[in-house]
């Protein structure tokens, strides 16, 4: 069922014969790439790693592309432009929160490499499944609480920083294609409880509909993009940057708040409501 929905969305929203895919080693982006093949598209995959640190996601994406005969472009993200990138993300992209900065930053270097008009992602799949630590601890035990979590996740100003990624995509004259955000896909996932979606394995319904995943070896469970790639550790180095950390904060989220206040984006009181 979910495979057909993803494939239909791609057919209806990406008319070109070739499509770019932001590919990791996870279930979401891999299922989208397979669906693009089902839709008759030539898949041109893009995956990043931090300079000097080729992550699991990068290696798995490259490995799968070889198995599936997809075109692969690897992008190395430099670490020596972080201060300049910070101000670019803040002033040009409009990043406000720690997750915005960390999730969008690598793609400052990916998008200039993309040649295709349409860019396919697995954005949103995590929200249906409640795989975050917060969701597992506080929201998985009843359907009502699970739906509460999902409703909040998919608020326009949230959705894992989608709006800020869209801004970056538009700056490079590309169109993001996010089949997991299709209303039909949402309706499909919302009928299930947390256990029904994640047992015996995390994201079991997707795994069932895409048996090809079994031929890719061990496809790891969800891990946030920042953690899986090491982006969070790189951003910690900004704590020692006096130009950015002008209040000598000990957390990146507090640096973000300081800049939001300085730029009159939010008031101090709003942080503590």
pLDDT in tens, 21-68: 999 989 999 999 999 999 999 999 999 999 998 999 999 999 999 999
Cα of first residue to Cα of last residue in the chain, in angstroms, is: 42
At a CB cut-off of 8 Å and minimum separation 6, what does 66 contact?
Answer: 72
Q: What is the pLDDT of residue 223?
A: 64
Q: What is the pLDDT of residue 271?
A: 42
Q: Where are the beta strands (DSSP E) in 152-254?
A: 175-177
Q: How far apart are CA 195 and CA 235, in angstroms?
A: 35
Q: How far apart are CA 232 and CA 224, in angstroms?
A: 10
Q: What is the pLDDT of residue 108?
A: 97
Please tell me whether the overall predicted TM-score, pTM, comes out greater than 0.85 for this model. yes
Q: What is the pLDDT of residue 221?
A: 67
Task: Quote the crossing angle between the two packed helices 27-38 and 2-13, to the nearest 10°.
Answer: 60
CA distances (Å), 202 to each of 55, 128, 198, 222, in order?
A: 21, 11, 4, 8
Burial profile 191-222: b = 16 or more Cβ within 10 angstroms, e = fewer: ebebeebbeeebbbbbbebbeebeebeebeeb
List of the chain residues with pLDDT < 70: 160, 221-223, 227, 265-273
Q: How far apart are CA 130 and CA 150, in angstroms?
A: 7
The domain locations on the chain are: 2-227
Q: What is the pLDDT of residue 160?
A: 67
Q: What is the pLDDT of residue 90?
A: 96
Q: What is the pLDDT of residue 152?
A: 92
Are 104 and 93 within 8 A, CB to CB?
yes
Q: What is the pLDDT of residue 272?
A: 41
CATH number for the segment(s) 2-227:
3.40.50.620
Burial profile 61-82: b = 16 or more Cβ within 10 angstroms, e = fewer: bbebbeebebebbbbebeeeeb
Residue 58, Cβ density class (10 Å: 0-12 exposed, 13-18 middle, ≥19 buried): buried
Closest CA to 106 of 23, 208, 194, 182: 23
Question: Two tokens at 10?
Answer: 């791609």
Taking the CB of residue 166, how many other CB atoms lie within 10 A of it? Answer: 17
């Amino acid at each position: 069922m979910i495979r057909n929905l993803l494939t239909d969305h791609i057919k209806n929203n990406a008319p070109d014969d070739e499509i770019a895919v932001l590919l990791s080693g996870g279930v979401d982006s891999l299922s989208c790439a397979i669906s693009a093949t089902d839709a008759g598209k030539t898949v041109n995959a893009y995956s990043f790693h931090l300079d000097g640190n080729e992550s699991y996601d990068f290696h798995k994406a490259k490995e799968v592309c070889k198995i599936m005969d997809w075109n692969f472009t690897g992008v190395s993200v430099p670490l020596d432009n972080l201060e300049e990138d910070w101000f670019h993300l803040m002033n040009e992209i409009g990043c406000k929160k720690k997750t915005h900065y960390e999730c969008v930053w690598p793609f400052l270097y990916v998008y200039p490499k993309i040649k295709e008009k349409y860019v396919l992602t697995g954005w949103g799949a995590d929200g249906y499944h409640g795989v975050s630590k917060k969701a597992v601890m506080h929201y998985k035990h009843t359907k009502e609480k699970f739906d509460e979590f999902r409703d909040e996740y998919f608020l326009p100003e949230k959705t894992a920083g989608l709006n800020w990624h869209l801004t970056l995509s538009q700056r490079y004259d590309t169109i993001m294609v996010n089949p997991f955000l299709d209303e039909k896909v949402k309706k499909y996932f919302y009928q299930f409880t947390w256990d029904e979606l994640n047992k015996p394995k995390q994201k079991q319904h997707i795994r069932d509909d895409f048996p090809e995943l079994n031929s890719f070896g061990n496809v790891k469970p969800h891990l946030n993009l920042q953690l899986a790639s090491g982006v969070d550790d790189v951003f910690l180095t900004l704590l020692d940057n006096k130009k950015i950390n002008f209040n000598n904060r000990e957390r990146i989220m507090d640096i973000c708040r300081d800049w939001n206040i300085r730029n009159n984006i939010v008031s101090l009181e709003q942080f503590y409501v």
